[in-house]
Amino acid sequence: MGASAAISVRIDLSRIRQNLADIRRLTGVPIIAVVKADAYGLGIERVLPVLADGVEGFCVFSVAEAAAARIWERTGKPSLALGPGAGEDAEEYLKHHVRPAAWDVGRAGALRAAGPVLSVDTGMQRFACPAGQIEAVLEAGECREAFTHATTLARVARLVERVGHHELKLHAAGSSLLAEPEARLDAVRPGLALYAGAVRASTRLVEERKSDGPVGYTGFAVARHGVILAGYSNGLRPGPCLINGRKSRVIEVGMQSAFVETGGGDRVGDGVVLLGDGLSEMEVAGDWKVSPQEVLMRLCAGGMREYHAE
């Protein structure tokens, strides 16, 4: 996806800081902040300093992510790598103060010196240890910590049932389970909850007119329409938007431009908000039929990022 100067992506660092404070107040347990995939597209370089003082550590997908962002050097906080990487060895993890997730005996044994964390399969069925292999993996890796990817309380309960009799630090709750006391265990791993409401993606009308018959490739029909310089090369899909504070829609999306429905008072140069100003990630995601995480990734990558501390 190509970034375009016609799309403005404003990231409110103070909102991330407030989200973190709210999570700390709500949960009362240590926080392992998920910053994988460039902090969900918001920019890990700018997000790390905002989170560093309020978290126990960070979650990345691979040791390479932690190394590239210099997480340990910049924050003094360790990371947990949730997935595999290329050419892994224990020394690489130790060098960057990253603990690897382990889900089979071979991996746990090979990375034992780096202090692997047992990833328990409670339903995700990806990079996770089946119930029947848990004891062997714990022994091979000398694991002192275990986690699971939980989207329901049933999965949290499964984690506790399978490894709760061991003296392990346990964590299961991502953003969707923060409000559930039973899910908090010894730590929580928020991602989306840290970034919700922090992004405003907007552009401007470059054309606006009364429609004259069927419009666009699909021949849609509206009374008036406008054009914005954002398309599927910028991650955009048909869905909700705001024009002059009024709810409207992105109707049809092309490669580098899109049609929006306009009203009689809209003019060339007026702002079109694709995310933010009350239009939430959840609302856009529901319309796009994707996850809110994907909405953030798509729209943050689709424009030029600007950061604001207040």
pLDDT at 5 over 70: no
Look up the pTM and report it: 0.94
Which domain CATH number covers 61? 3.20.20.10
Give the model's pLDDT for residue 1.
42
**Structural domain that includes position 229:** 199-308
Half-sphere CA count of 269, side-chain side, radius 13 A = 0
Alpha helices, DSSP H only, in the chain?
A: 13-27, 36-40, 44-51, 63-69, 71-75, 90-95, 105-110, 134-141, 153-163, 181-184, 192-195, 281-288, 292-301
Q: How many residues in total does the chain contain?
A: 310
Per-residue DSSP letter, 6: E
Assess if residue 20 is contained within a domain.
no
What is the distance between the alpha carbons of residues 286 and 40, in angstroms, rounded to a whole number?
18
Assess if residue 193 is contained within a domain.
no
Together in a domain, 62 and 165:
yes
Together in a domain, 62 and 129:
yes
Q: Which of 77-91, 153-167, 188-202 has the lowest mean pLDDT?
A: 77-91
User: How many structural domains comprise the chain?
Assistant: 2
Together in a domain, 206 and 163:
no
Give the model's pLDDT for residue 87.
72
**Which position has the higher pLDDT, 302 or 98?**
98
Together in a domain, 154 and 111:
yes
Residue corresponding to tokens 């964390």: 117
